[in-house]
Structure 1
């Protein structure tokens, strides 16, 4: 009787020894899974770390300035309200105004009711009641005198680094006593003070009062 019990005991012990490695492996696997689960944040928190197109800060009566190599202001963007977005670093502006400064001559001012600047601060889109204003300029050096310029449209795009303002919407251009209307928009180059209109162009051109001045 004792021999039979001893044999059964050995059989049970051998069986346990055979399955013991599997039990240890299973326990380690469950423990690892539990630790990973505890260290991994919930899916909602993981998603929250992904930048969203939501404001991360808002400024009132703000301004952004860019300086040239000499430390002088190249352009300045102002807005009654500035809203910055975290995902693409773009900016929405209320009552935006950009002033483009030059080495010589008065600065050019472009304004509108609404604006949007891309994350690289290279393109400014202006919407609703947009206008470009450049005061009259006297002749300086090789540069000829230029009359006052005022352009109005529902939309302007400012290529900030290129000093170019353009639109594909109808616009009205007043330069001195001359006035022109374009159905296809136009492009204004602030470097060489040129303007080109597109589409159907109508208006009148008056002689410049500054013609003939040096």
Structure 2
């Protein structure tokens, strides 16, 4: 009797690993079958045009490789939009200096600028003024002033464009037009639409 029980126990222990492996496989299958399905990936969020930071009574300066200031952008309030990397500015003022030393000043009630102020859209009582400068040959290049409700200025490229009525002052001479395109580097001034001008006598021309 004892030897029979021992033989039975020995047989049971011989097959015990196989039985345990079968039970583990059955348990794994049950867990896989009853596990909750994975959540679908959340759809990518579309960029939102919302400001990520604000600046009040601010001033931002840019410098060239020699350490000379090339631009100063300031305003009463600015909102930065990361989706377009632009600054929306209230009471904007921009001062820039060209390689020849001539200074340009731009002001408006509102402005939309890129990060370093090299491109700015001015709206509401917009004005861009390039100061007079003495040229290498000794002649005086008179002050240029652009005025309108909208002006688009590129300070590095020395360009001013507007698709709305503008007033151009060159010294004491005054011109009006429906559209304007000015490129100082290419020495091109284009006035379109209803163009009128009043020329004053004297060296200002």
- Is the structural similarity TM-score above 0.5? yes
TM-score by length of 2: 0.74
* Aligned match of 2:194: 200
Distance in 2 (CA, whole Å) between partners of 1:94 and 1:148 is: 26
Q: Does 1:59 align with 2:48?
A: no
Task: Give ranges in structure 1 of 5+ residues lacking alignment.
Answer: 1-16
- Matching of residues 93-132 of structure 1 within 5 Å: 93-118=89-114, 122-132=118-128
TM-score by length of 1: 0.71
Change beyond 3 A, Cα 1:194–1:147 = farther
Cα distance in 2 between the residues matched to 1:54 and 1:72? 34
Higher helix share: 1
> Relative to total residues, which structure has the larger strand share, 1 or 2?
2
The Cα of 1:43 is off from its aligned counterpart by 5.5
Query: CA 1:59 to 1:26, structure 2 compared with 1: closer, same or farther past 3 Å?
Result: same
Task: Check whether the contact 1:82–1:94 (CA below 8 A) recurs between aligned residues.
Answer: yes
Residues 91/158 of structure 1: CA separation in 2 closer, same or farther (3 Å cut): same
Deviation of 1:52 after TM superposition, in Å, equals: 2.8
CA distance in 2, matches of 1:206, 1:29: 92
3-state DSSP of counterpart to 1:207:
coil
SS of the equivalent of 2:156 reads helix
Matched, 1:89 2:85: yes
Cα RMSD of the aligned pairs, angstroms, is 3.6
1:168-187 alignment, distance < 5 Å: 168-183=163-178, 185-187=179-181
Q: CA deviation at 1:108?
A: 1.0
Query: Which deviates the most, 197-206 or 116-125?
Result: 116-125
- The number of residue pairs the alignment matches comes to 190
Q: Match for 2:69 among 73, 78, 94? A: 73
Paired with 1:193 and 1:72, the residues of 2 have a C-alpha distance of 26
> 2: distance between equivalents of 1:193 and 1:110?
20
Partner of 2:154: 159
* Alpha-carbon offset, residue 203 of structure 1: 1.8
The answer to whether the 8 A contact 1:147-1:208 is kept is no
**Contact 1:78/1:96 (CA < 8 Å) preserved in 2?**
yes
| Greater radius of gyration (CA) | 2
* Partner SS for 1:141: coil
Q: Which deviates further from its counterpart, 173-182 or 191-200?
A: 191-200
